[in-house]
Amino acid sequence: MDAELFPRSRTEVAPGAVHVPDWLDAARQRELLAACRDWARPPAGLRTVRTPGGGTMTARQVCLGWHWYPYGYARTVVDGDGSPVKPFPAWLGELGRAAAREALGVTPPPYDIALINFYDGDARMGMHRDSDEQSDAPVVSFSLGDTCVFRFGNTETRTRPYTDVELRSGDLFVFGGPARLAHHGVPKVYPGTAPPELGLTGRLNITLRVSGR
């Protein structure tokens, strides 16, 4: 990947949805990974999310600021150990606002929710919308570790039309405005593609949202 003839360029995947490759440098990726490992420890640590129909999500999750569960938010891990959700750090919110400015040229209200999803080589994420918030501020997504296929769709249906984007470690993806409620998912992860120097087996996705509460 380092030997690519043509560097990857910033791409507007859809109006309001922008992919910025390599936005996080190696040092910032290591800092985020260390923080994610701390956040993943109990109490209120990494958990398996159970859906109302009785199924489970294959990507495991930990939340900051507000705890997400299908389909709402709480201040405690209501579908886990019952502990108070871990606090949302101000520095992470500032990173998110800088990312939104870089990608969309806007400065959103302060971010107060982080959903951190861990994918092993077999994990997937079905097509869904981030629609449980009361704010329409842009969603900011950082990728660490293994490369994945990120499927970005439309606001009306989980099916086509959609665009598949390859997200690598350090990439930024932001969607807001007309794309804020677009369906999206992760149909595939490529095991063993993380930068060796990062020291991560698997993929972490850090998604920032504004609750509007």
CA distance 179 to 138: 9
What one-letter code names the amino acid at 154? Answer: N
CA distance 144 to 142: 7
Q: Are 81 and 89 in contact (CB under 8 A)?
A: no
CA atoms lying within 13 Å on the CB side of residue 7? 6
Q: Are 155 and 181 in contact (CB under 8 A)?
A: yes
Q: Are 87 and 64 in contact (CB under 8 A)?
A: yes
- Within 25-76, where are the H helices? 26-40
128 annotated as ligand-binding? yes
184 annotated as ligand-binding? yes
- Neighbouring residues of 167: CB distance < 8 A, sequence distance ≥ 6: 19, 143, 147, 148, 149, 150, 173
Q: Are 109 and 137 in contact (CB under 8 A)?
A: yes
Query: Residues at the annotated binding site?
Result: 128, 130, 184
Residue ranges of the annotated binding site for Fe cation are: 128, 130, 184
